[in-house]
């Protein structure tokens, strides 16, 4: 069974993994690559906006 997880949950999982937590975690997620909507981003702020825009787009597509 595939579960949808939020970005906060994913970040929490990655932090747990990076701190060598003893809990075994199985993650089944879809990965989009390259991340972000193509808006010719150059600065870190523009890249962050393009990533946030894609997250919102994917989230709202699931409501249909």
Instruction: Measure the CA–CA gap between 61 and 59, rounded to whole angstroms.
Output: 6
Give the count of domains, the chain.
Answer: 2
Which residue range forms the structural domain that includes residue 20?
A: 1-28
Specify whether 47 is located in the same domain as 63: yes
What's the mean pLDDT in 52-58?
A: 86
Specify whether 17 is located in the same domain as 44: no
The three-state DSSP-derived secondary structure of 28-40 is: CCCCCCCCCCCCC
Specify whether 36 is located in the same domain as 57: yes
- 6-52 pLDDT, tens digit per residue, is 777 777 777 766 666 555 666 666 766 777 888 888 888 888 888 88
The predicted pLDDT at position 32 comes to 66
Specify whether 43 is located in the same domain as 16: no
Specify whether 35 is located in the same domain as 24: no
The predicted pLDDT at position 23 comes to 59
pLDDT of 56 strictly over 80: yes
Specify whether 35 is located in the same domain as 63: yes
- The HSE-up count of residue 7 (CA atoms within 13 Å, CB side) is 7
Contact 29, 10 (CB under 8 A): yes
């Amino acid at each position: 069974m595939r579960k949808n997880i939020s970005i906060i949950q994913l970040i929490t999982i990655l932090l747990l993994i990076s701190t060598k937590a003893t809990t075994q975690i199985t993650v089944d997620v879809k990965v989009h690559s390259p991340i972000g909507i193509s808006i010719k981003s150059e600065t870190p702020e523009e890249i962050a906006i393009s990533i946030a825009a894609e997250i919102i787009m994917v989230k709202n597509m699931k409501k249909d």
